[in-house]
Structures are given as C-alpha cells and as structure tokens.
Chain A
Amino acid sequence: MNANILTRNNVKIFGTGKQPLVFAHGFGCDQNMWRFVTPAFAEAYQIVLFDYVGSGKSDLAAYNSARYSHLSGYAQDINDIVDSLGLEDIIFVGHSVSSVIGMLASLKKPERFQQLIMVGPSPRYINDPPDYVGGFERADIEGLFAMMDKNYLGWASFLAPAIMQNPEKPELSNELKDSFCSTDPVIARQFAQATFFSDNREDLAKVQVPSLILQCTDDIIAPLVVGEYLHQHLPQSTLRVLKATGHCPHLSHPDETITVIKDYLRDMASD
C-alpha cells in the first residue's frame, strides 16, 4: 500500500463487503457527490472514494499541468490507487467524464476491472458533423470557460495568488471552501479543457470490461443520442435510461440510481 497515493488522492475506504466498488467524481466536483448513494452499497461492498489530483481535498502540490492536460493523466490516478490498494474485481462507478476516465484506466489494466458503470458518459462532447452529435459546439465550451472565469475568481490566481492560502484571512478561505469543490481556477480550467475537448470514440471498441450506461432523460451534457452511440460502440454494454432528468441522477434521484445499479449488478452476478 502506498500511503503517498492515498493521501495525494484523499482516498476514503469503508463498507463491510469484500468486492471493491470505486466511485469517481466528475468535472467540477469531488467525492462528496456520492454521499447519497454509497450507504446503500456499504454492507455488500468495500467502498472506495477519492478526489482526482487538483480536485476536492487532494494534494494540489502533486498537480502537474502536463499530466492532467489529458484524461489519461486522470486515468493514471485511478490505476495508482488500484495498485496502492491492490484492488481486484473492481466495480467502477464513474460520473460524467469519469466514466471515460475509468474506461481508459480499464484499458491499461483490464484484468483488474469487472464492471464499468457509467453515469452520464460521453466519448466526445463537441459535434463532429456529419456523423456524430455530441451536443456542443466549440463556442458553447468557450462560453463555459468565460462563465467559469467569473465564478472561480479566475482573476484571483493572477492578481492575488495568495488569496486562497492567506493565513491572515481564514474567513476568506473558509468561505471559498464552501464555493466550488476545486477552487484553483487554473486547475479547474485545465480539467474543463481535458474534459470537453476529449475524443475517446476510438477507444470504445477496445474495452474488454462489461459496462452499464446510465442515461438520464433530458441530460444536456450527455444527450440520449450519445448514450445510444456508446451502447452501439461499447462491446458488452447495457443501456438504461433513467426517469431522472439532468446530469446528476446520483444527486437528484439517488433512489432510482441505486436501484438501477443494484438490479444490474444482480443480473450480471446471476448470469
């Protein structure tokens, strides 16, 4: 076990089961987002939670622009944790971009993964006419970056780099802690770029692990056509369309999310 990795990625382990159920958060948040879902699995599984380097309570000092400018850098975080804990027969649950990150991790170590559960996944966010609809134009993504600049105090990193670590002003950092999970605007921007400019369509056919695609109704981030595209191109995939709307069913509709995942795992186990 490598304690450095566990600290670096703020790894939390609980549950009374043996088989590891690894939950990976998406862009813009941290492991907290799983808290409505994990208790339902704690009895039967070993729950593993973590924050990607640059997010949540991870070690920001371990952040490396080159590594984390591509989703493969984040996938390496997962495999580092898998190695440190010696995890096997992993059921991986990834939200949004983490679905694809988990998929990339499984391409590196297919023997360690037993199931991939993808919540609102997309192999490519930007449309690629004439054949592929991802849901976004490049200008939409640029608009997102502009909005992030205003919400992440994008200016702070430049005009007042010390503002986040200012020990004389604890009230400020406490307030900022309550705002976005990752408060470093540069890191947030890079994660956004790595996410929204990614294109992993070519990797889908290589996946050897069975997968469940959880598709929400009316998900602006991952529209239904994207879910169907994934289902067509991912070998051994199952597509479930949730009644839940939006992009975060584990937050907005945790009960339905839990039920669908449990049903799927039960079905797979009885096969």
Chain B
Amino acid sequence: MAEPIVKYNKVTKYFDDLQVLDEIDFEIQPGEKVALIGPSGSGKTTFARLLMMLEEITDGTIEVEGEYLWHEKDDKGNLKPASSEHQRKVRSNIGMVFQHFHLFPHMTVLQNIIEAPVTVQGRDKKEATKAGKDMLDKVGLLDKADAYPAQLSGGQKQRVAIARALVMQPKVLIFDEPTSALDPELVGEVLEVIKSIADEGEASMLLITHEMDFAKEVADRIAFFDGGKIVEDGPPSDILYNPQSERLKDFLERFMNTQ
C-alpha cells in the first residue's frame, strides 16, 4: 500500500475539561474519498478542523505527506510545536469547504477565487484569472464571475466556495457538512459538483455529511464517529447495510426514521 497522505496518531482533543476526541488513529490514502458520519457532538467536525488547523491539537500528532502538521523535530529529534512557517507549508496541502460558505463579501466571485492564488501562492494574476475562470466553468457559474456573493443563492455560494478551494490545488479537500445550510431544493446542485470533483479528482476527500445516500455514492470508505472515537470504519456497503456495533445500528435506525 502507498504511503498514506494523512495520518492521525493517537489524536486527542479537549475543550477545557471536555474531551472531544479520544486517541484517534486514522489514515487517508492518496485519492481516497472518506465520509465521516455520526451524531452531532461525536467529534467528527473537530476531527476535520484539527487537520485544517482551525482548532489546536491537545495531544498526539497528525502527519500530512509524511510531515508533521502541528510539530517539528528539533536538533535532537524530539517533537516540538511547529513554527508558523512550518505550519503554513504543511497546511498548504489541505483545503476546506465550510457549511456556511464563508465567501469574502467585499469581493466579486472571481476575486474570491483568485485572491489566495495571487496573494498567498504568489501566482501570476493572468494565470490565476484563467485558472479561476476554468474553475468557475467547472462549477457552472462562469456567468457569475462579476457578481458579489450577496447576489447569489446558497447553492451558488457553495459552488463558488468549492471553486475557491479547488483553485489552490489541495491534495486533501475537507467538506464540512457542505449542504446542511442549504434549502432542500439547492442541495442537489452542490452534491452534483462534489460528485464530479470526486469522480475526476486525484485529491483525497474528507466529507462530513448527513446525506447517507450521497456518502454511499461518493465515498470509498465511511467512518462512524461516536463519543470522540471512530466506532466503525469500512466500505460504505458494510457500514450502511451491515453495521456491527449497537451504536451504529441505533444511529442508522434513527436516521432512517427521520428521513
């Protein structure tokens, strides 16, 4: 098996006295699409946010392409907290799409997309604009290039946010409940875009979702979180149709009932 692109080693997270993640080991292979499911408060969002460095890790390590994300080795080979340069270097492999889009409201759609390539990656503005437009075309919003986010529907906003993340060419793309904030009739267009990225993409995906059908369709693997642990982890057919643990059975049953 190839080297995993992401590797969690005994990752633990506390918010003050509250333990959210409990010594989690986890790997993502290059190009692998992994869906995270589980009840709210089970730790799946925190798990993903640690990879994006939006929360501080309490204990354990995360490696991305064999390099520590939160740590660096000192002269003696001991782990120490990483410098901000090191963090940014390793973090550049990761991208994220948020539940609430978080587009930059003061910029047009195209500016939203090319801002980070130009400012952060130092890419040529012409090249970035071309790449940005290609990406907008891919999510079907080329005609909205000069619109402001406030003029878009929720589904369109999320598609722009996806284009914005993709143009950075991340090796791992995190989707944090990308359709949970959308009106039901807008969910489909976003899922379609995510699916097309998954189908063509070399990028690995970490997809936090409550859309079980979608998870089954897109993911190579599903991990079920409960109480800060990964309770079950396997191919979608096993997880959804042949759950082993009581907790997953309960979760799926409750889930089916609310559908």
Q: Do A and B interact with each other, yes or no?
A: no
